[in-house]
Chains A and B, each alone.
Chain A
């Protein structure tokens, strides 16, 4: 979708939400809930995250009139979830703890010799396009499985940055992490996906 079209579509959707059009709410739920869940899962377990996202949608019903469009609708919704999740953790005196100390995934780190060169070099066929790879349904299922097994912090960062195309600054605000820690989360998650695709291409197994 072209950026201009997307903007027009979003403006129309916002008008529909402000006019309390149920069909527009249903469309917005399907467009934005995956990203809202990615934000919530950074802070909360799955059940609590679903409850939080449902509560946020109810809040949106009453708050959409105050949406002025200074940020995009997606960013506004993601910030609502993040703020509520942070308040929830504060009330329950809990913190998100994540290891940001090493940017290299242990499974990849093992593939280097002591001199820093590849001992087990990458074997992926990099000339195979992502589009061609996506046509393989088994690979798509495998990707689902591995995404669901990523540590929550890594998955949320990856989803917001790659799948929902947020800018780094936005992801840092929403997830309350520094720019350098976001880089670690993204890189760790990407290495996991790289390793998964490599194994799949080599063995045909997930």
Chain B
């Protein structure tokens, strides 16, 4: 029988649909009976959505400008070579 700790180990696989059919049924049955694990799965999902909405805009603008500058010089050098 699946215990709460077992479910916590495979919770991501369940959320991503990576579990086999038997394990998926076991998790679903456990979730029917266990409010704590329902909270855990729900909260883990919320945490994932938080990640998806959050991290795409993390870039140090100084670093980006240094790259811009290098690209600009490389484009000039490439044009010079082609002339």
Q: Are A122 and B40 in contact (CB under 8 A)?
A: yes
Give the chain A neighbours of B42 by CB distance below 8 A.
124, 126-127
Give the chain A neighbours of B72 by CB distance below 8 A.
22
The answer to whether A183 and B71 touch (CB under 8 A), given A116-B3, A130-B49, is no
Q: Closest Cβ of chain A: how far from B64's Cβ, in Å?
A: 5
Proximity string of chain A (97-122) to chain B, C-beta cutoff 8 Å, 1 when within and 0 when not: 00000011000110010011110011
Among A62, A108, A115, the residue within 8 A (CB) of B3 is A115
Q: Give A48-68 interface residues, CB cut-off 8 Å to B.
A: 50, 53-54, 57-58, 61-62
Proximity string of chain A (132-170) to chain B, C-beta cutoff 8 Å, 1 when within and 0 when not: 011000001001100100000000001100111100000
Q: Closest Cβ of chain B: how far from A101's Cβ, in Å?
A: 12
Among A26, A30, A112, the residue within 8 A (CB) of B5 is A112
Q: Are A122 and B59 in contact (CB under 8 A)?
A: no
The answer to whether A131 and B78 touch (CB under 8 A), given A116-B5, A162-B48, A194-B43, is no
Chain B: number of interface residues, binned into ranges: 35 or more
The answer to whether A20 and B8 touch (CB under 8 A), given A29-B64, A147-B55, A193-B47, is no
The answer to whether A163 and B63 touch (CB under 8 A), given A61-B78, A117-B3, is no
Q: Are B44 and A20 in contact (CB under 8 A)?
A: no
Q: Give A78-111 interface residues, CB cut-off 8 Å to B.
A: 103-104, 108-109
Q: Closest Cβ of chain A: how far from B53's Cβ, in Å?
A: 5
The answer to whether A26 and B68 touch (CB under 8 A), given A118-B4, A187-B12, is yes
Whether, in the assembled complex, A186 has its beta carbon less than 8 Å from a beta carbon of chain B, the answer is: yes
Q: Are A33 and B59 in contact (CB under 8 A)?
A: yes
Give the chain A neighbours of B44 by CB distance below 8 A.
190-191, 194
Q: How far is the CA of A183 from the CA of B51 in the complex (A)?
A: 17
Q: A residues near B, CB below 8 A? A: 20, 22, 25-26, 29-30, 33-34, 37, 50, 53-54, 57-58, 61-62, 103-104, 108-109, 112, 115-118, 121-124, 126-131, 133-134, 140, 143-144, 147, 158-159, 162-165, 183, 186-187, 190-191, 193-194, 197-198
A-B CB proximity, top 6 nearest: A116-B3, A126-B42, A130-B49, A124-B43, A163-B55, A187-B12
Known pairs A57-B67, A122-B36, A162-B48. 9 more at Cβ < 8 A? Answer: A20-B75, A29-B67, A37-B59, A117-B5, A118-B36, A130-B50, A130-B52, A140-B54, A143-B50
Give me 25 A-to-B residue pairs in the complex whose CB atoms sit less than 8 angstroms apart, sorted by A's number: A22-B75, A26-B64, A29-B64, A29-B68, A104-B9, A112-B8, A117-B4, A117-B5, A118-B37, A121-B39, A122-B43, A124-B43, A124-B46, A126-B42, A126-B43, A129-B49, A131-B49, A134-B50, A162-B51, A162-B55, A163-B56, A183-B18, A191-B44, A193-B51, A197-B50
